[in-house]
Structure 1
């Protein structure tokens, strides 16, 4: 063990020992499987440390039950079921407190079982992949993903975006024009949002209808 890790281990052990005397050594060893930066963050963030210790405790309890042996880091149980792998992976991913633990775990589980097992035994690799998955999720969120919302929410969000664009073209009739455009199919509306020329044509038609109506 290198000196930096040893120092982290000593600091962790001291913090854990005050609450879990009997299991302090074992719990510290399990947490030391995590990447150094995460451990340093834990030492500065009491809530993060408590959460990680609780997870390690749960893993320890499961490990002591022969019927469902699940360790914090899988080494000799490569034939574990996907569920078991998923649970272990979630425990480790959740330590990073990204707010997307469930989604990131799901993304990582799309890999072959062997690759997932490697993640469980290689904290550095896991940290890299969690980071990549997190970036991907953030990018998806920034692009306003309509796929997860209900039809009502979908139309409402599309309406808001349409209105802001229509308002730039015809602020006086923006409400009426947006209302007319929202009668189209959501798929067509998305196309209008991504194709300015198409949107201008649709707004032009709506303006003609309004002029005729008046």
Structure 2
């Protein structure tokens, strides 16, 4: 209930700001911007430049949505316009939703056949539905990638540890365990350098040994 009241308030304030410059489309533009998250709307009301950018994007999206026939004709006249031109138009529409993943979502939507993409350009409701669906997919992938990367990082450190131990053991067999443990506290990039540069490894082992002795 509180969110509805917030949206109503945002809507009134946005309409008041948009109306002077875009009298004919003020209602539609306000409605499109109200699809954005409340925190973003709050920022727009305080930042004139941000609001102006969002209104411009919404206006371009509205123009494209109102002229689907022009897109189709142009497409028929010029086959080469296909992916690039459709991609640009679709990106403009997707970017209105301010998801932070406009490029990726546009790419996902462009995997459909051309007719489906044209439908998206002329049907704002269908576009919104597919943008939300793509965003959900991206968020799920992000969670999975985080889980995978966490485990792969652990595996990577273990492999580095094994390689490092075998090299350290040749230099200082008596303290190989302790020294390897100390070196593994370094970042992965530095560890890879030690593995590829024997001189650097020797210096690192000497420092670790000195630290152990002290």
Q: TM-score, normalised by structure 1?
A: 0.51
CA contact (8 A) 2:36 2:98 kept: no
Instruction: Write out the 4+ residue segments of structure 1 that deviate beyond 4 Å after TM superposition.
Output: 7-11, 39-43, 177-180
Q: CA RMSD in A?
A: 4.1
CA contact (8 A) 2:34 2:41 kept: no
Q: Write the distance in 1 (CA, Å) between the matches of 2:31 and 2:85.
A: 18
CA contact (8 A) 2:11 2:30 kept: yes
In structure 2, the gaps of 5 or more residues are: 1-8, 76-80, 167-214
Q: How far has the Cα of 1:39 moved from its partner?
A: 8.8
Q: How far has the Cα of 1:123 moved from its partner?
A: 1.9
Q: How far has the Cα of 1:130 moved from its partner?
A: 0.7
Q: Write the distance in 1 (CA, Å) between the matches of 2:25 and 2:161.
A: 61
Corresponding residue of 1:175 = 161
| Secondary structure of the structure 2 residue equivalent to 1:34 | helix
In structure 1, the gaps of 5 or more residues are: 1-6, 61-69, 146-153, 168-173, 181-214
CA contact (8 A) 1:86 1:105 kept: yes
Q: Does 1:102 align with 2:103?
A: yes
Q: How far has the Cα of 1:56 moved from its partner?
A: 4.4
Higher helix share: 2
Q: How many residues align?
A: 146
Corresponding residue of 1:37 = 35
Q: TM-score, normalised by structure 2?
A: 0.51
Corresponding residue of 1:90 = 91
After superposition, the Cα gap between the structure-2 partners of 1:84 and 1:102, relative to the gap in structure 1 and judged at 3 Å, is same
CA contact (8 A) 2:91 2:103 kept: yes
Q: Write the distance in 1 (CA, Å) between the matches of 2:152 and 2:164.
A: 7
Corresponding residue of 2:126 = 125
